[in-house]
Structure 1
Amino acid sequence: MSDHLILGAVFRGLGAYPSGWRYPGAHNDPLRDVGLLRRTARAAEAAKFDYLFFGEWLATGPDLEFRDPDLLARLDPVSSIAYLAGVTKRIGLIATANTSFFDLYSLARQTASIDRLSAGRAGLNVVTGADPRAAGNHGRDVRDGTEPRYDQAAEFVQALRRLWDSWEDDAFVRDRRGGRLIDPDRLHRTDAVGEHVRVTGPLNAPRPVQGHLPIMHAGTSTRSRQLAREQADLALVAWPTLAEAVAFRTELIRQTRLLGRDGAPKVVTPLLPVVAETTAEARAIFDELLRLLPLDDGSELSRSPDFPTNRSIRSLSGAVGVPLGGVGLDDEVPLRVSRRFTEGGQRLLETVAARTGRLVGGDSAVTYRHLLATHAVPVAAVVGSTQEVADHLEEWFGAGGVDGFNVLTPFLSAPFDAFTSLVVPELQRRGLFRTDYEGSTLREHLGLRRPRNLHRAEGGVGRADDTFDGIVGERASA
């Protein structure tokens, strides 16, 4: 486990909760994202976050207005971290790339360049999605099944690292007297030839400052776990309970040791904190977010063909295992009805209680709106005072469930400001988080050592016109 918590700030201009943009004072104009991006990056850096994280979605459509408004129109992640390289100094910058659609050579060149431009602060989150709209936008067919996509992703990452290693660190000898600028024996072709990936190289960009950018991978499927343990430096996973998180991280460490890797991937999990100076204030914010979430109330908006089907009382009936015909969204849930809920329904009640303080039959009533909104938007939220939110982070970190968190905010900028001004100082007071940056690169922030050049590690010097037979598996030293 890291000496301190890893904290990444996830940038989502319209917020990570679907109704966040409706909250009074929230940012809600994608045309003004650049100023918000600059402000958020500087705030995260002032709070000593390890990195700013950018997810990706390669298509758009009217359905996203309800499901995830932030995905409708957003800044390109790779372009964003290139821009931030010039307006920040210490914080890491992680962009997401889908291996199904990105050109390998171009991505290697862009990311190596950004790592140089940022003095070693770039990182890359690798995903393998198969959205039909994204495939159509890139002139591709959707691959059947997960196996081909993950096979391609594994080859992609291996070849990406070999491209980054085209130039050895000491390849530029700069011999003015002798007239030699480079040592050609320290420039290497990649010649990765696999079932899914082909690239020759060398890369026409210098080796990244970090050697290899830290690679993150998100997901919990069997193939996703395999890719994480074999290729990733960071595993981004979401588990509903601490026990599941501990079991996953323990097994990940065991399996990576069997592979002979020098250290398991750091495990981070998404978290949406809603924090205020008092529990009541935090709950009031979250209550308002639930109230602002469009639900199927028979209005013209809810009759839109793109309106989510899981936001109806009928959908809630299936979730709690009890017919709920005839009830209104703002009707109180009677105790006699809640007692008939299935195990899934009881978990919904527990989640509502934890986030809002509302109990069936209590002073603050639970309505069907609270249950339906919680069912329809299953975010990993923690709501409470400074101490309560810090306690949650400390519990998951101390129990060995995670190395850190990807911090989401329901909207910008007030909830993020509250987290940086309230929770971060409390974590620092408890000795769980740094008070200043100790290193200068993202690898140093994360406690990852700089890898050896793969071409050098594979047995010495090879000229740029030497070839390799197929994609060579990553060595433990990488």
Structure 2
Amino acid sequence: MSEPLIVGAMVRTLGAYPSGWRQPGAHRTPATDADILRRVARAGEEAGLDYLFFGDWLATGPDLEFRDPYLLARIDPVSAVLYLAGLTSRIGLIATVNTTYADPYATARSLASLDVLTGGRAGINLVTGAEPRAAGNHGRDAHADNENRYDRAEEFVSALSGLWDSWSEDAWIADAERGVLIDPTGLRPTDLRGAHVRVTGPLNVARPPQGRIPIVHAGTSPRSRALAAAEADLALIAAPTIDEAVAARRVLRDLAAQAGRAPGDVRVIAPVLPVVAETVDAAHRIVERLLALVPLADDAHKDRTSFPANRSVDALADVLGVDPEDPLRAATFDDAVTRADVTRLGSGGAALVERLAVIAGLRVGATLTWRHLVAANAVPGAFVVGDAATVADHFETWRDEGAVDGFNVLSAFQPAQFEAFAGLAAPELRRRGLLRRLDDADRPTLRDRVSGLRPVTRHDAV
């Protein structure tokens, strides 16, 4: 029998789809994020998900309003997981830390503290950053190049491991009768002096219950994949098709073997954006409304200098290679798309139309408009749309084809869509053996859930 998948939720309080916050009843005020975090944590834990995942972005700007609204204002991820630590009892809590700017000692200390306070539910997602504006926010003139960022990231991981290994498993004696609190030989310095990271140690927090806190990493560059294969417990990939996911997983497992690990030591996780409802038609209507609410290049936005350039019929025609003189470029957003129009849009347009039929049930000459086409092209999403069985079919197919070891679930808007996934899809996933049992007491820590491998300290390995 196949292993259950690793299933976590990637939490974005304003929703993962740019127009999600405009849905009726959707959360849209970052000042009240605490309310949504509590609801998401409760729903995720009751559904038996393995973890909640919090990403990060170290800058903001008006351009994000249209591209990624959830990045405009958000809670610091370490603060978010610490907030939820006392409100949850089973679910893992993964926070993102940028190794380019973070201090390794402070990072090791805060995550070890979280692990102790939660009985082993902490996780850390390490990123090197890709936002040039972040440099100025950290007192630097420019963002580091890729090679230097990964040189530092590798040393950062070594520092974390060394600090978490400060205490041996049996160093804390607490023998009141003899007056012996610790075995001093079990408290070791880190003494890392790298080109980018220096830390002496030891860490002044007890050894984390998980030994070393599970590490997550994502990226497509050779250095990023090498870091994930050598150090990560979970490797996040962005693969739009099952074939691409199979290939990416194979590469990461091969790299893990080259790094001296068992190929299965690194688990591959893909993002998915399920739009879930009681019926397939109801789910289609949700996606249709999401597309209808995407801001396009009409009079309401024409004066915004930060407005994206790709949200017009003309821009879509350029992408699809339509003749500059073709009169279809004059179509308005609410005009119906005809079969003749689709023919003139070529193979790219036909593929886009087919996708809209799948995710929104929209048909040429009936319900499909240029607004839908432009929005779907300008703001694509990794949608899996339907009822609980549709979502479970997707998860099952990707597992059985060897594409992934699990999924990061995104929600188009909060809280309704996450609660729909938790209430409708999660029970069906569990019924099929794709999600762990709610009473899986043998896996109390996040590491138990995502790998089951207890790391040996660098001192014990000598």
TM class by smaller structure: over 0.9
Answer yes or no: is the 8 Å Cα contact 1:294–1:302 preserved in 2.
no
Q: 2:431 aligns with which of 429, 432, 435?
A: 429
Mapped partners of 1:368, 1:20: distance in 2: 20
Answer yes or no: is the 8 Å Cα contact 1:159–1:199 preserved in 2.
yes
Amino acid of the structure 1 residue aligned with 2:402: G
* Corresponding position of 1:280: 281
2:452 is the counterpart of 1:451: no
Mapped partners of 1:275, 1:434: distance in 2: 20
2:359 is the counterpart of 1:358: no
> Relative to structure 2, which stretch is displaced further, 311-320 or 61-70?
311-320
> Relative to structure 2, which stretch is displaced further, 6-15 or 337-346?
337-346
> Cα distance 1:212–1:316, how it changes in 2: closer, same or farther (>3 A)?
same
Amino acid of the structure 2 residue aligned with 1:242: I
Q: How far apart are 1:178 and its partner, in Å?
A: 4.2
Mapped partners of 1:360, 1:222: distance in 2: 43
- Matching of residues 7-406 of structure 1 within 5 Å: 7-262=7-262, 263-297=264-298, 299-322=299-322, 323=324, 324-361=328-365, 364-406=366-408
> Relative to structure 2, which stretch is displaced further, 288-297 or 2-11?
2-11
Answer yes or no: is the 8 Å Cα contact 1:268–1:402 preserved in 2.
yes
> Relative to structure 2, which stretch is displaced further, 139-148 or 263-272?
139-148
Mapped partners of 2:285, 2:135: distance in 1: 42
Amino acid of the structure 1 residue aligned with 2:249: R
Q: How far apart are 1:310 and its partner, in Å?
A: 2.0
Answer yes or no: is the 8 Å Cα contact 2:135–2:143 preserved in 1.
no
- How many residues are treated as equivalent by the alignment? 455
Mapped partners of 1:292, 1:302: distance in 2: 16
Answer yes or no: is the 8 Å Cα contact 2:233–2:451 preserved in 1.
no
How high is the sequence identity, in percent, across the aligned residues? 56
Amino acid of the structure 2 residue aligned with 1:327: A
Q: How far apart are 1:62 and its partner, in Å?
A: 1.6
- What secondary structure is seen at the aligned counterpart in 2 of 1:168? coil
> Relative to structure 2, which stretch is displaced further, 269-278 or 365-374?
365-374
Q: How far apart are 1:447 and its partner, in Å?
A: 3.1
Mapped partners of 1:56, 1:84: distance in 2: 17
> Relative to structure 2, which stretch is displaced further, 140-149 or 77-86?
140-149
> Cα distance 1:224–1:349, how it changes in 2: closer, same or farther (>3 A)?
farther
> Cα distance 1:343–1:125, how it changes in 2: closer, same or farther (>3 A)?
farther
Answer yes or no: is the 8 Å Cα contact 1:319–1:345 preserved in 2.
no
Answer yes or no: is the 8 Å Cα contact 2:16–2:411 preserved in 1.
yes
> Relative to structure 2, which stretch is displaced further, 382-391 or 116-125?
382-391
Answer yes or no: is the 8 Å Cα contact 1:124–1:213 preserved in 2.
yes
- What secondary structure is seen at the aligned counterpart in 1 of 2:296? coil
- What secondary structure is seen at the aligned counterpart in 2 of 1:93? strand
Q: How far apart are 1:343 and its partner, in Å?
A: 4.3
Mapped partners of 1:212, 1:398: distance in 2: 30
- What secondary structure is seen at the aligned counterpart in 2 of 1:44? helix
Amino acid of the structure 2 residue aligned with 1:164: W
Amino acid of the structure 2 residue aligned with 1:162: G
Mapped partners of 1:190, 1:181: distance in 2: 22
Q: How far apart are 1:242 and its partner, in Å?
A: 0.3
Q: TM-score, normalised by structure 2?
A: 0.95
Mapped partners of 1:193, 1:345: distance in 2: 56
Amino acid of the structure 1 residue aligned with 2:14: L
Structure 2 portions without partners, runs of 5+: none
Answer yes or no: is the 8 Å Cα contact 1:319–1:375 preserved in 2.
no
For residues 70-109 of structure 1, the C-alpha deviation after alignment (integer angstroms, 9 at most, x for no partner) is 1111111101111111110000000001111111110110
- What secondary structure is seen at the aligned counterpart in 1 of 2:282? helix
Answer yes or no: is the 8 Å Cα contact 1:56–1:96 preserved in 2.
yes
Q: How far apart are 1:47 and its partner, in Å?
A: 0.2
Shift >6 Å, 4+ stretches: none
Q: How far apart are 1:333 and its partner, in Å?
A: 2.4
Mapped partners of 2:270, 2:2: distance in 1: 14
Cα RMSD, aligned residues only: 1.7
> Cα distance 1:143–1:70, how it changes in 2: closer, same or farther (>3 A)?
closer
* Corresponding position of 2:6: 6
- What secondary structure is seen at the aligned counterpart in 1 of 2:345? coil
> Relative to structure 2, which stretch is displaced further, 252-261 or 151-160?
252-261
Amino acid of the structure 2 residue aligned with 1:187: L
Answer yes or no: is the 8 Å Cα contact 1:162–1:455 preserved in 2.
no
* Corresponding position of 1:475: none
Mapped partners of 1:353, 1:129: distance in 2: 37
> Cα distance 1:295–1:128, how it changes in 2: closer, same or farther (>3 A)?
same
Mapped partners of 2:144, 2:96: distance in 1: 22
Answer yes or no: is the 8 Å Cα contact 1:109–1:205 preserved in 2.
yes
Q: How far apart are 1:179 and its partner, in Å?
A: 3.6
> Relative to structure 2, which stretch is displaced further, 48-57 or 181-190?
181-190
Amino acid of the structure 2 residue aligned with 1:18: P
Amino acid of the structure 2 residue aligned with 1:75: I
Mapped partners of 1:429, 1:192: distance in 2: 48
Amino acid of the structure 2 residue aligned with 1:99: T
Answer yes or no: is the 8 Å Cα contact 2:317–2:345 preserved in 1.
no
- What secondary structure is seen at the aligned counterpart in 2 of 1:454? coil
Amino acid of the structure 1 residue aligned with 2:388: T
Answer yes or no: is the 8 Å Cα contact 1:321–1:345 preserved in 2.
no
Mapped partners of 2:344, 2:330: distance in 1: 17
Q: TM-score, normalised by structure 1?
A: 0.91
- What secondary structure is seen at the aligned counterpart in 2 of 1:455? coil
> Cα distance 1:162–1:343, how it changes in 2: closer, same or farther (>3 A)?
farther
